[in-house]
Structure 1
Amino acid sequence: MKNLFERNSRKRIRVFKFLLFFLALGTAFGLRGWVSQQEIVPPQPSQDASALSGEGADEKKVNLNQASLDNLMTLPGIGEKLAKRIKEYQDLNGPFPTIESVMEIKGVGSKNFNKIKPYITVE
């Protein structure tokens, strides 16, 4: 009787190992197929990168003396509040003589100025 149970146990272990092997094999092939189906998209150069490199930078510059609030808010680091300050400053003091003069406005320090410098002009 003892021999019968041991024989059944060994058989069950073999079947279990057999099933486990095919489960692992199926998982490996399934993952391999899933990984190969994922589409790899190469990064595209953005318009901002071309502006920073100087290609067509003049076309994209915002004239501080003629810009609307919406145009000013397209500049990096310039939100609605700061755009309003720029327009208010301009209304009180007239047109900006240089791009550096925008740093006289509260909130436009050297850090913000360096962010917007490639994108602004005062022509």
Structure 2
Amino acid sequence: MSHKGIERLQRNSKRFKGFLLFLLLLLFLNYSLMGNRKTSEVKREKKRGDFFCKAGELSAYQKMTLGIPLNLNSETPEGLTAIPGIGKSLAGRIVKERIKRDGFKDIIELRSVSGIGEKTFLKIAPHVSL
């Protein structure tokens, strides 16, 4: 083998050793950062970012924008106005009926609220839940 060939092998050997050292360093860092944690803890952390965990922090208008139904038994009168077809006065009447009934048991009970006929009920129903 020529002198240049030997130099090239030595140079490549040094690069390979450097690459291996880099990989070992990455493995060490991974172990030191994650090694003392249980797998279940890591999985739980990943689930914390799920949409459903954060939905409770959204305003009624944000929920409506995302297509998340509003809870009739917990939403404020202001929040209920985010639903198409519900203004301030109708939202107030819905809350009064909710208090009177000690909470709605079925969405169809909205029909007993003054100002909610069949047409309005059909418009509201897809946007509410219990």
- TM-score normalised by the chain length of structure 1: 0.50
Could you tell me which amino acid in structure 1 is paired with residue 110 of structure 2? V
State the distance in 1 between where 2:71 and 2:91 align: 13
For residue 72 of structure 2, the aligned residue among 60, 64, 75 is 64
Gaps of 5+ in 1: 1-50
Match of 2:114 in 1: 106
Matched, 1:96 2:104: yes
State the distance in 2 between where 1:106 and 1:69 align: 15
Gaps of 5+ in 2: 1-63
Could you tell me which amino acid in structure 2 is paired with residue 114 of structure 1? L
Could you tell me which amino acid in structure 1 is paired with residue 75 of structure 2? A
What RMSD, in angstroms, separates the aligned Cα atoms of the two structures?
1.5
Q: Which has the higher helix share?
A: 2
Matched, 1:120 2:89: no
Structure with the bigger RCO (C-alpha within 8 Å, sep 6+) is 1
Larger Rg: 1
Runs of 4+ in structure 1 over 2 Å off: none
Match of 2:85 in 1: 77
- TM-score normalised by the chain length of structure 2: 0.48
Q: How far apart are 1:109 and its partner, in Å?
A: 0.9
State the distance in 2 between where 1:93 and 1:117 align: 18
State the distance in 1 between where 2:94 and 2:69 align: 16
CA deviations on 1:15-43 (whole Å, 9 max, x unpaired) are xxxxxxxxxxxxxxxxxxxxxxxxxxxxx
Could you tell me which amino acid in structure 1 is paired with residue 103 of structure 2? P
State the distance in 2 between where 1:71 and 1:84 align: 11
